[in-house]
Every structure is written in C-alpha cells, then in structure tokens.
Amino acid sequence: MTQTILHIDASARIQGSTSRDLTAQIIERLNADQVIRRDLTSPLPQLTEDWINANFTPANDRDAVQRDLLALSDQLVEEVKAADTLVIGVPIYNFAVPASLKAWIDLLARVGLTFHYTETGPEGLLKGKRAIIAVASGGTQVGSDIDFATGYLRHILGFLGITDVQFVAADAIMADAEAALKRARTAIEALAA
C-alpha cells in the first residue's frame, strides 16, 4: 500500500529548529512513498473581506478574480486531501501556534470542502487521515494550563475530520533539553509506519 505524507513545517527558524528536526526524523521513520512539502516560512496571505466573499459565493457563480483569490486555498485543500498522513512541525510561540500555521488553517477550513454543517452540527470531511504533530517549546509543557497550541490543533483537526492525532513533544527544552529531546526520540521510535 502506498503512503503519501503532507510535511508541514511552521517554525520561523530554518537552522537550529527543534520542530523541523523532529519532523525530519518522523518522515524518515514513516518511510513514505511520496512526501508533499509545505514550508510555512513562505508567507501565506491572511483572510480578507474579498477572500471571504469569494469563498461564500457558490463555485459556479465565482468570477475569475474570485477564483484567483481562492486558488492557493484550493491548492492547500488538495494537498491535504492527497495525503494519508500529515506531519506538522509546530514550535510553541507565546503559548500558541505560530501565525503562519494559523494562516494555513484559516485557508484550509472551508465549508463545503473540508467541513459541512448537518442537523446535528458540523462534520469534518477530511476523514480517514492521520496527523502526527511534532511540538517544540522552550518553557511551555505540552498539556499544561498554558499550552494553547496542542488542544487547539487537536480540536481544529477533529473539526475537519482528522481525529487520529498524535503528538511528539520536545517541550520545556529550556528546563532540560537532553531529557526533552530523549522523550521526543522515544516517541518517534514508537511510531508505527
């Protein structure tokens, strides 16, 4: 069975990034047939009123300008749809996800494409996928009261239909880097390909 991974790195740091190092280790461990790469150091646009209006215009009624406004978002959605597994590198910045990752999520969460509303509430349309999130933080312990990143990511991915979410954490690195990295490596070794 072939496996496609969508590899997303959200760290602003290219060199010396713990989350980037962890995602590289995870990708190697999973040994996928195909890896789609999305590096969020290339900035994604923020949502605008024109983008929102284009998004809520029925697809058949969109003009060329609206289709162009949604083209990148369409591409991001297709990348996720093509993947069996998402591997996302997330540094915790100021207790939450980087703005670049939030921009990616905003462009991905589209009613009718990645979720829809039913009589019983919203339903995610990206089911059957796995997400492995490599988290790195200097002082924030994953799962603590000041971790506003991992709970948000689990929730938003679940909202989109991705409920198989695993975290590999190198957290509170400033307290004990060696122990934090050892825990993360152990978690990576335990990942099933």
The predicted-structure confidence for 77-94, as pLDDT tens digits, reads as follows: 999 999 999 999 999 999
Do 170 and 183 meet the contact criterion of CB atoms below 8 Å apart?
Answer: yes
According to the annotation, is 100 in a ligand binding site? no
According to the annotation, is 144 in a ligand binding site? no
Q: In which residue ranges of the chain is pLDDT below 70?
A: 1, 193
Map out the domains of the chain with their CATH numbers.
4-189 (3.40.50.360)
Residue 192, pLDDT score: 82
pTM: 0.96
According to the annotation, is 48 in a ligand binding site? no
C-alpha torsion angle, residues 8, 13, 14, 19 (rounded to 10): -50
166 in helix, strand or coil?
A: strand
According to the annotation, is 41 in a ligand binding site? no
